[in-house]
Amino acid sequence: MKYTLVSFPAQNNMLFFIILFLSCVTIKINLCFSTIPSSLKTLPIHGHFNFHQVEHAAKDFGNRYSFLPLAVLHPKSVADIATTVKHIWQMGGGSDLRVAARGHGHSLQGQAQAHRGVVINMESLQLPKMQLHTGNFPYVDVSGGELWINILLQSLKHGLAPKSWTDYLHLTVGGTLSNAGISGQAFRHGPQISNVYELEVVTGKGEVVNCSEKQNSDLFYSVLGGLGQFGIITRARISLEPAPKMVKWIRVLYTDFTRFARDQEKLISGESAFDYIEGFVIINRTGLLNNWRSSFSPQDPVQASQFKSDGRTLFCLELAKYFNPEEMTLVNQEIKSSLSQLNHIPSTLFISEVAYIEFLDRVHISEIKLRSRGLWEVPHPWLNLLIPRSKIHSFAQQVFGNILTNTSSGPILIYPLNKSKWDNRTSVVTPEEDVFYLVAFLSSAVPCSTGSDGLEQVLIRNQRILDLCEIAGLGVKQYLPHYSTQGEWKSHFGSHWEAFIQRKSTYDPLAILAPGQRIFQKPVAYS
Ligand code: FAD
């Protein structure tokens, strides 16, 4: 057969080839996208893939980023996760398919999302069943997709509980261990990543590896605080302690930042009487103290009702003391003696007594209220910073009441942490001082507002704070970090960058995992 093509004039020939080439490319692309889901469909797994209702996996608490995946895996076993990751690993460096583990989706900037990739819904992983071990060193074995609230409920049945928490418990073990997990107990116990004995991890090559301080220790420390970059946590062994029944929950106020910070630092050093130490800033907020009175009793109601902030910025020290009812008298004495050594405004002592579980699950009560008013699923442009102790005064002076003139967009937490309680073998980066502060700007933006409570204005304020840290060289590190370029990530990791790259090339060389963090767009060898 003679091709008609040969009789075409030259430019028509050229046109034909271009059309042929383009149609081949289109077919190849279509083939590429259509064969990926079908190759996933044939994988021998116990759970299932969802290729259609995947919108949920393109959302998170931050409510600002949305990347639609091609598929969501609902694993029933660790093998399901390993099979899927290994399959993608075997596709090689040419494949663009990436995998994100999704815990409870409470990230702020798309960290648990995978654009045209596979999201693994870790909460579907119900195995191994939670197993509690009592004895001198009690611990619990849990799935990486388990919520901390469920661990609390289960361990309390045995009179036990984890030692280190986050302020909010409806987060997964894998999600918080990939960051650090910080709350008011961390000054004594360190973050949650300092309270893990062992992990089971699926690496970026699809291998299932057990690791601990003694076994495969480099993988163990890589994964802790590793932003999901080195492996998917499928099981964790978490250390427990005897749980108290009750909590004395205390708030006192300061108008002087220096006194506030000095007292906080005194409390976290040495043997503190308290089990939880946090603090927050109140700028130009009226009526807040009246709100507290419904749940906290002022020690001296007459004096407390006469206290007026007169527009001054207030610093609230928040403390908790755990106890059992039979220890009440002794505990009251200890609290009285410790408080007498602090320099707060004497009339502003507020105390509440609540059950331990009510104290730990306190943010959930606010969640229920906010949800009922449609205020939970709004944009959350949060900014979390770790600030060296030597720079906190300069930071406070320039930010509170200056860059920020009110706290109506959301709470600002501020409390110091002891670096000695953080293991420097983990992947998390913290400032180079023995004590550093967590300062968390937990803003909610009013949807569609162009005013000071709108997303754009909050982001501008956040950027001003970041610029200040940069220009003044405060040595600040972001917690729950998020950057758009590799250069920014490099400067975030600083001297730890080379080790981070080395670990990535060992455990996930094709950069299959955690694409939502946007650290590695390509296989590590080429980045
Ligand atoms: P996701 O958002 O689903 O995932 C977070 C990251 O971890 C992603 O990169 C994801 O790919 C990765 N990941 C998830 N599961 C796994 C796994 N099994 N293995 C490996 N990687 C995984 N943090 C604190 O430290 N202290 C607090 O007090 C605190 N309070 C908070 C209060 C609220 C209301 C919210 C929304 C968040 C709070 N956080 C706090 C932040 C929280 O710890 C992180 O956002 C955490 O990542 C959320 O957990 P998640 O289960 O929703 O994880």
DSSP 8-state code for residue 334: H
pLDDT exceeds cutoff 50 at 180: yes
Measured between alpha carbons, how far is 477 from 483 in angstroms, rounded to an integer? 12
Q: What Rg do the C-alpha atoms of the chain give, in angstroms?
A: 26
- Going by pLDDT thresholds of 50, 70 and 90, the confidence category of residue 294 is low
Residue numbers annotated as active site: 106, 167, 278
CA of 352 to the centre of ligand 1 (A): 29
List all residues whose CB is within 6 A of at least one atom of ligand 1.
60-61, 100-107, 111-112, 122, 144, 166-168, 171-172, 174-176, 178-183, 227-228, 232-233, 363, 480, 514, 516-517
Residue 234 CA to ligand 1 center (angstroms) comes to 15
pLDDT of residue 38: 80
Peptide bond into 346 cis (omega under 30): no
Query: To test ligand 1's pocket by mutation, which of 61, 143, 178 has the most ligand atoms within 8 angstroms of CB?
Result: 178
Name which of 420, 422, 184, 409 is nearest 316 in CA terms.
Answer: 184
Are the C-beta atoms of residues 384 and 480 closer than 8 Å to each other? yes
pLDDT for the residue 76: 97
What is the amino acid identity at position 337? S
Residue 209 has pLDDT above 90, yes or no: yes
- For the CA of 223, the closest atom of ligand 1 is 20
Q: Which atom of ligand 1 is nearest to the CA of 100?
A: 11
Buried b (16+ CB within 10 A) or exposed e, 296-324: bebbeeeebeebebeeebbbbbbbbbbbe
Q: Which two tokens stand for residue 55?
A: 């919108």
Pocket residue to mutate for ligand 1, from 67, 80, 99, 102, most atoms within 8 A of Cβ: 102
107-130 average pLDDT score: 94
Atom number of ligand 1 nearest to Cα 107? 2
In ligand 1, the atom with minimum distance to the C-alpha of 108 is 45
Bridge partners, residue 479, by sequence: none
Report d(CA 89, CA 195) in Å as an integer.
31
pLDDT above 80 for 351? yes
Residues 25-40 have a mean pLDDT of 55
Mean pLDDT calculated for residue range 362-367? 94
Q: What single-letter amino acid sits at 469?
A: C
* Mean pLDDT of the 305-318 span: 85
Per-residue confidence at 525, pLDDT binned at 50, 70, 90?
A: low
Average pLDDT, integer, range 302-312 = 75
Q: Write the CA distances from 361 to 207, 227, 415, integer angstroms.
A: 36, 25, 19
Ligand 1, atom 32: closest residue by C-alpha? 168
- Min mean pLDDT across 30-44, 72-86, 255-269 is at 30-44
> How many whole angstroms from 172 Cα to the centroid of ligand 1?
7
The protein residue whose alpha carbon is closest to atom 5 in ligand 1 is 175
CA pair distance 112, 109, nearest whole angstrom: 8
Per-residue pLDDT, 93:
87
Q: Give the rounded distance of the alpha carbon of 357 from its chain centre.
A: 21
- pLDDT attached to residue 6: 32
8 CA from centroid of ligand 1 (Å): 63
Instruction: Please state, rounded to an integer, the average pLDDT across all residues of the chain.
Output: 91
* Average pLDDT of span 258-286: 93
Q: Residue 295 is encoded by which pair of tokens?
A: 């749940």
What is the pLDDT at residue 24?
39
Where does the pLDDT of residue 31 fall: very low under 50, low under 70, confident under 90, or very high at 90 and above? very low
**Protein residue closest via CA to atom 33 of ligand 1:** 168
Q: What integer pLDDT is reported at residue 4 of this predicted model? A: 31
In the reported structure, the alpha carbon of residue 177 is separated from the centroid of ligand 1 by a whole-number distance in angstroms of: 8
Mutation choice for ligand 1 from 65, 74, 84, 107, CB with most ligand atoms inside 8 A: 107
Q: How far away, in angstroms, is 176 Cα from ligand 1 center? A: 5
Closest residue to atom 49 of ligand 1, CA basis:
175
Dihedral class, residue 342 (left if φ above 0, else alpha if ψ from -120 to 50, else beta): beta
Distance 180 CA to ligand 1 centre (A): 9
Please name the residue whose Cα sits nearest to atom 14 of ligand 1: 175
pLDDT at residue 429 is higher than 70: yes
Q: In the structure, what pLDDT confidence band is assigned to residue 107 with cuts at 50, 70 and 90? A: very high
To which H or E segment does residue 359 belong?
helix 356-360
Q: Which atom of ligand 1 is nearest to the CA of 192?
A: 25
